[in-house]
């Protein structure tokens, strides 16, 4: 399709969780554990997050693999339920795929960008969820590339995952590429590390972290649509 001359980017890359898709881990865990006869409550979630959150930091910093993150976060529950961590992790990703929904404005934004720029996803989420979720929401046809850190072996903010994406994109000029994401430490710093433009989707009005300077900042996907398509 011909590109609109008004859009300053040939490619717009998106994070997935909490940028395009609602990611309600608590609801997913409640659904998953209900299948194993467990009434998973807020205290259980707090306990899970105390294990899960540091593992995500280690994963994004390259200290552990995707497989280690996915198994270690469920080891305490696996021991209690006498199941493998892998089975719990797979059940969790299945539950998340069942409850997934695009964020407000996501469908309109992607439709508005159709034909004006090529679109892609770069996510630190896991393969088992990403492809199913795109199919179930009917959004897969919008994207020219889907880059998943678990498959590449490198996570955002490492520039390596962006270099992998740029290679799939056939090396467009970096000033014509925009990365959109809700996490300043992985999405925005990652885009900066790769030398591309960045837009922080800051839905909760957080302060910009020290040392990270996004090129753009929006608090809704409709605001991003106005920025790109006006």
For this structure, is 15 an active site residue?
yes
Pick the catalytic residue from 15, 158, 182, 187.
15
- 97 touches 129 (CB < 8 A): yes
b/e code 184-220 from CB counts within 10 Å (16+ = b): bebbbbbbbbbebbbbbbbbeeeeeeeeeebebbbee
C-alpha span between 107 and 216 (Å, rounded): 21
C-alpha span between 91 and 76 (Å, rounded): 16
Please classify residue 173 by burial: count the beta carbons closer than 10 Å to its beta carbon, then call 0-12 exposed, 13-18 middle and 19+ buried: exposed
C-alpha span between 24 and 28 (Å, rounded): 6
Does the N-terminal peptide bond of residue 82 adopt cis geometry, omega within 30 degrees of 0?
Answer: no
Which residue(s) pair with 145 in the sheet? 120
Catalytic annotation, residues: 15
């Amino acid at each position: 399709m011909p590109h609109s001359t008004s859009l300053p980017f040939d490619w717009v890359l998106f994070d997935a969780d909490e940028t395009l898709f609602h990611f309600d881990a608590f609801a997913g865990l409640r659904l998953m554990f209900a299948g194993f006869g467990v009434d998973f409550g807020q205290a259980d979630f707090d306990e899970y997050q105390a294990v899960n959150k540091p593992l995500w930091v280690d994963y994004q910093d390259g200290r552990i693999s995707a497989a280690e993150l996915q198994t270690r976060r469920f080891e305490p529950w696996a021991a209690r339920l006498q199941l493998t961590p892998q089975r719990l992790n797979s059940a969790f990703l299945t539950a998340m795929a069942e409850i997934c929904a695009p964020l407000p404005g996501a469908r309109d934004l992607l439709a508005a960008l159709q034909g004006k720029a090529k679109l892609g996803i770069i996510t630190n989420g896991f393969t088992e969820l990403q492809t199913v979720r795109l199919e179930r929401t009917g959004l897969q046809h919008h994207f020219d590339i889907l880059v998943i850190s678990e498959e590449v072996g490198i996570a955002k903010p490492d520039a390596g995952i962006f270099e992998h994406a740029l290679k799939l994109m056939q090396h467009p000029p970096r000033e014509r590429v925009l990365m959109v994401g809700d996490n300043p430490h992985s999405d925005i710093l990652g885009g900066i590390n790769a030398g591309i433009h960045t837009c922080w989707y800051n839905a909760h009005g957080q302060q910009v972290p020290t040392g990270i300077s996004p090129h753009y900042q929006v608090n809704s996907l409709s605001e991003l649509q106005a920025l790109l398509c006006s």
